């Protein structure tokens, strides 16, 4: 009888302890979750023109232009297979800047681009094979970039191919407003990221 009483007492004590521990653990987990801030988007890119004058003109042609949506920015990628990254011997020259209107190289013709602001993207690479003149990127002057649809993007609004003139490729990127952007020169590609906001909010 005495042993049975001891067992019952121990069982009741164990149940009480487990009841007290579970809420304490849950409260600690909730507090930990509440104190972990969501990652902020990068800031400080600015909206001034960005260029790589150390990069040179290349005979490596543009093969494709593609875009993607990210948490903090919309991205354009110019594919240049065989071109080097920033600081390498094969680095490609570029200039990316906001313009009031997009004017086609050579003719000077005005090419309308939808959006609150226009980024002109110039890459020191042709969109054709210099040896044969055959196009390596199937774009037409004044038309949207092939295979690129900015519908649903938070920042991008429109794209236009301007020209591939004297070894340079010129494009227009319509964006929602004059927003901060950065340019990354990576192996085989040039990347243009346009932020969703100035504040770093997602």
Residue 85 and residue 186 in contact, taking contact as beta carbons nearer than 8 Å:
yes
| pTM for the whole structure | 0.78
**Residue pLDDT, tens place only, 22-60:** 444 444 444 343 433 456 898 899 999 999 866 666 778
> In angstroms, rounded to a whole number, what is the distance separating the alpha carbons of residues 94 and 200?
26
Using the predicted structure, report yes or no on whether residue 17 has a pLDDT greater than 80: no
**Looking at residue 59, what is its pLDDT?**
78
**Looking at residue 115, what is its pLDDT?**
97
Question: What number is the average pLDDT over the span 102-131?
Answer: 95
Lowest mean pLDDT among 51-55, 84-88, 155-159, 191-195: 84-88
The alpha helices in the chain, defined as continuous H runs, are: 2-35
Sequence-ordered list of residues with C-beta below 8 angstroms from that of 105, at least 6 positions apart, any chain: 162, 163, 165, 166, 168, 170
Element (H, E) at 181: strand 181-186
**Residue pLDDT, tens place only, 66-108:** 999 999 999 999 999 988 777 666 788 999 999 999 999 989 9
**Looking at residue 82, what is its pLDDT?**
85
């Amino acid at each position: 009888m005495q042993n049975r009483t001891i067992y019952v007492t121990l069982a009741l004590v164990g149940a009480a302890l487990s009841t007290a521990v579970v809420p304490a653990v849950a409260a600690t987990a909730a507090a930990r979750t509440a104190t972990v801030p969501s990652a902020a988007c990068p800031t400080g890119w600015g909206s001034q023109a960005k260029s790589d004058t150390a990069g040179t003109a290349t005979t490596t042609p543009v093969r494709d232009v593609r875009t993607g949506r990210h948490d903090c920015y919309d991205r354009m990628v110019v594919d240049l297979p065989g071109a080097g990254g920033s600081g390498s011997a094969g680095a490609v020259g570029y200039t990316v800047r906001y313009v009031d209107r997009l004017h086609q190289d050579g003719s000077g013709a005005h090419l309308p681009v939808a959006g609150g602001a226009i980024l002109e993207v110039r890459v020191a690479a042709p969109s054709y094979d210099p040896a044969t003149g055959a196009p390596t990127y199937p774009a037409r002057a004044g038309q949207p970039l092939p295979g690129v649809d900015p519908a649903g993007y938070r920042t991008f609004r429109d794209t236009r191919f301007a020209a591939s003139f004297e070894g340079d490729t010129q494009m227009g990127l319509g964006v929602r407003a004059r927003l901060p952007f950065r340019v990354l020169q990576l192996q085989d590609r040039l990347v243009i990221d346009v932020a969703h906001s100035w504040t770093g909010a997602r």
